[in-house]
Amino acid sequence: MKSVAIGTTPLLECGICEGIWVDVETLQKICAERETQAAVLGMPAHPEEPVKLDTHIMYIPCPVCQQLMNRVNFAHCSAVIVNVCKAHGTWFDKDELRRTVEFIRAGGLEKARTRQLEEIKDEQRRLELARNFNAPMDPVVTGHNYDIPTGVASTAIDLLFELLR
């Protein structure tokens, strides 16, 4: 891999496949700084080609630790599948870094965060409902006495059958 600079940001690029290795700190900088994003968007663009879905999925090793990286949809909704080593960085295949920055600039990260917050709130509501549903019916807390004498219950069932005849 050879060292390349995008603006003032140093990256590593594969001379064969044109993929780019971005360490964790640098990716955070790219996600946060509009100047760095502008530099990425100013990179020489490849002719516009339709995005092809990989039919042959291949896991690649991290250039730092050599462990196989996880394939992840960037921000879980960008449609850009990148290879991530949580400890060391992210591998972007040819043109994926530019597409990722376009996603960020279009407000994709904010939308992803909003969606994640909604999912967390929904899960909290579900857990609260489940907790309340599974809670014992305490007459002191609820103000209701759910202890129905057996004779009353059987009389109610008998009455119900009479009404259905």
70 within a domain of the structure (yes/no): yes
CA distance 134 to 77: 35
* pLDDT at position 21: 93
42 within a domain of the structure (yes/no): yes
78 within a domain of the structure (yes/no): yes
138 within a domain of the structure (yes/no): no
User: Residue 36 — very low, low, confident or very high, per pLDDT cuts 50/70/90?
Assistant: confident
* pLDDT at position 87: 94
Q: Is the pTM of this model over 0.75?
A: no
Q: Is 138 helix (H, G, I), strand (E, B) or coil?
A: coil
156 within a domain of the structure (yes/no): no
For the chain, what is the domain count?
Answer: 1
22 within a domain of the structure (yes/no): yes
Domain of residue 76, residue span: 2-47+55-108
The share of the chain scoring above pLDDT 90, in percent, equals: 19
Whether residue 150 has pLDDT greater than 60: no
pLDDT, average across residues 100-111: 88
pLDDT, average across residues 111-130: 87
- Looking from the CA of 71 toward its CB, the CA atoms found within 13 Å total 11
* pLDDT at position 38: 81
pLDDT, average across residues 57-83: 91
139 within a domain of the structure (yes/no): no
Q: Is 7 helix (H, G, I), strand (E, B) or coil?
A: coil
pLDDT, average across residues 155-159: 62
Q: Give φ, ψ of 134 to 5 degrees.
A: -85, -5
Q: Between these two residues, 52 and 84, which has the higher pLDDT value?
A: 84
31 within a domain of the structure (yes/no): yes
* pLDDT at position 55: 65
Average pLDDT, the chain: 79
User: Residue 153 — very low, low, confident or very high, per pLDDT cuts 50/70/90?
Assistant: low
Q: Which of 40, 44, 120 is nearest to 80 (CA)?
A: 40
